[in-house]
């Protein structure tokens, strides 16, 4: 009799466990299916007003009606993205805490943040835009074309100064080194606190070349003060149709190797269907007329990638970045 009672209790206990797990699974699945049911936080790793912050706000504005929830922007600059990453990791894993991502994150994961954070800690939702790297010179410069520049640099190795945002190993510095390596030239890298500072130095002839982005130089190109010799892209830019790609300028560079991008990422354990919903919503937001107008005004190139494509892209960027940090003696 005691054995029977114990057996019955065991059966009931087992049933309750199975029933509880089933309810929990159903509740979880239902919650994911209903996502989102509350406001979403988007943490930006830069200060308000910069290109990444503007991208986040414009994207959120167009995605809110699609998702049916408010997207709140929170700025957390500092530590090459480390401050933002800490805030993201402290957030939820249900898709209600998102963050912005740029090549700074890739560089950090391969260098100063290595061991603290890695791509495995995160999921990559959507790539949003590309802000191509360009090479600019002062309009008074003797260099009319990319070929002119390369020819001179081959004859005068290490003579010219190149200004750019960040120290050796930064996104701009790697972009320059990819070009220089393919062209077989050498120059002195001069570090500035921003791309704007590097362009200002070029205007004052404190450097011979600036590795920049289109929006920063456009006003000076239009006013005849600067000249853009080439762009790291697989096609000419709509905003600068007369500027050749590096390949058109005679420098065989793979445009898949390195890119100035901006996108959205989140915590690694966010459910796959939530990632897909977010990726789809952001893709639709990028197709709105309002967002396209912003992209045109900001001289950005479309860079839409879904969750899977963006994940592959980040893995490739990590590989290229690591290889260049090793070449440059950073790692």
Residue 26: pLDDT band by 50, 70, 90 thresholds? very low
Per-residue pLDDT at 2 exceeds 80 = no
Per-residue pLDDT at 294 exceeds 50 = yes
* Residue written as token pair 């209903």: 34
Question: What's 139's DSSP letter?
Answer: T
* Residue written as token pair 């897909």: 276
Whether the link from the prior residue into 55 is cis, omega within 30° of 0, is no
- What are the tens digits of pLDDT across the range 158-179? 999 999 988 898 899 999 999 9
Q: What is the DSSP string of 13-59?
A: HHHHHHHHHHHHHHHHHHHHHH---S-EEEEESS-TTSHHHHHHHHH
Return the minimum-mean-pLDDT range out of 13-22, 30-39, 221-230, 275-284.
Answer: 13-22
Q: Report percent pLDDT > 90 for the chain.
A: 79
Per-residue pLDDT at 3 exceeds 80 = no
Per-residue pLDDT at 29 exceeds 90 = no
Per-residue pLDDT at 216 exceeds 80 = yes
313: alpha, beta or left? (left if phi > 0; alpha if psi -120 to 50): alpha
Predicted local confidence at residue 254, as pLDDT: 78
Per-residue pLDDT at 30 exceeds 80 = no
Return the minimum-mean-pLDDT range out of 190-194, 226-230, 317-321.
Answer: 190-194
Residue 32: pLDDT band by 50, 70, 90 thresholds? low
Q: Report the run of H or E that residue 124 belongs to, with start and end.
A: strand 122-130
Q: What is the mean pLDDT of residues 199-217?
A: 96
Question: Length of the chain, please?
Answer: 331
Per-residue pLDDT at 14 exceeds 60 = no
Q: Report the run of H or E that residue 89 belongs to, with start and end.
A: helix 82-90
Predicted local confidence at residue 84, as pLDDT: 96
Q: Which domains does the chain have, with CATH numbers?
A: 39-131+260-327 (3.40.190.150), 134-231 (3.40.190.10)
Residue 84: HSE in the Cβ half-sphere, 13 Å Cα cutoff = 30
Q: What is the mean pLDDT of residues 48-53?
A: 90
Please give the order of strands across the beta sheet that includes 97-101. 71-75, 40-44, 97-101, 261-267, 122-130, 301-305
Predicted local confidence at residue 194, as pLDDT: 85
* Residue written as token pair 């790692």: 331
For residues 179 and 167, what is the distance between their CA atoms, to the nearest angstrom? Answer: 17
Any residues with CB less than 8 A from the CB of 102 and at least 6 apart, and which? 45, 52, 81, 171, 260, 261, 262, 263
Residue 238: pLDDT band by 50, 70, 90 thresholds? confident
Q: What is the mean pLDDT of residues 310-321?
A: 95
Question: What's 300's DSSP letter?
Answer: P
For residues 30 and 18, what is the distance between their CA atoms, to the nearest angstrom? Answer: 18
Q: What is the mean pLDDT of residues 315-321?
A: 95
Rounded to a whole number of angstroms, the distance between the first and last alpha carbons of the chain is 71
Q: What is the mean pLDDT of the chain?
A: 90
Predicted local confidence at residue 330, as pLDDT: 87
- What are the tens digits of pLDDT across the range 98-129? 999 999 899 999 998 999 999 999 999 999 99
Predicted local confidence at residue 156, as pLDDT: 97
Predicted local confidence at residue 270, as pLDDT: 98
Query: Are the C-beta atoms of 223 and 246 separated by less than 8 Å?
Result: no
Output phi, psi for 80, to 5 deg.
55, 35
Any residues with CB less than 8 A from the CB of 110 and at least 6 apart, and which? 318, 321, 322, 325, 331
* Residue written as token pair 């290889």: 323
């Amino acid at each position: 009799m005691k054995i029977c009672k114990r057996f019955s209790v065991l059966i009931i206990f087992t049933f309750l466990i199975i029933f509880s797990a089933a309810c929990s699974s159903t509740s979880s699945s239902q919650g994911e299916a209903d996502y989102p049911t509350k406001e979403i936080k988007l943490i930006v790793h830069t200060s308000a007003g910069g290109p990444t912050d503007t991208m986040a706000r414009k994207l959120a504005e167009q995605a809110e009606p699609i998702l049916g929830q408010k997207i709140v922007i929170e700025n957390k600059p500092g530590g090459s993205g480390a401050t933002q990453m800490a805030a993201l990791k402290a957030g939820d894993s249900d898709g209600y805490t998102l963050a912005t991502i740029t090549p700074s994150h890739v560089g950090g994961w391969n260098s100063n943040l290595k061991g603290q954070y890695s791509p495995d800690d995160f999921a990559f939702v959507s790539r949003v835009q590309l802000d191509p790297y360009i090479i600019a010179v002062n309009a008074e410069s003797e260099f009319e074309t990319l070929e002119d520049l390369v020819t001179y640099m081959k004859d005068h190795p290490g003579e010219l100064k190149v200004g750019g945002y960040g120290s050796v190993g930064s996104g701009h510095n790697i972009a320059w080194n990819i070009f220089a390596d393919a062209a077989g030239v050498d120059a002195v890298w001069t570090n500035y606190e921003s791309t704007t500072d590097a362009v200002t130095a070029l205007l004052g002839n404190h450097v011979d070349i600036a590795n920049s982005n289109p929006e920063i130089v456009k006003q000076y190109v239009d006013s005849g003060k600067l000249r853009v010799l080439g762009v790291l892209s697989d096609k000419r830019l709509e905003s600068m149709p007369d500027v050749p790609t590096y390949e058109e300028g005679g420098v065989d560079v793979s445009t898949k190797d390195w890119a100035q991008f901006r996108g959205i990422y989140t915590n690694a354990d966010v459910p796959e269907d939530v990632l897909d919903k977010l990726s789809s919503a952001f893709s639709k937001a990028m197709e709105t007329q309002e967002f396209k107008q912003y992209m045109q005004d900001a001289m950005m190139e479309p860079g839409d990638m879904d969750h899977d494509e963006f994940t592959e892209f980040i893995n490739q960027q990590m590989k290229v970045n690591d290889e260049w940090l090793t070449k440059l003696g950073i790692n």
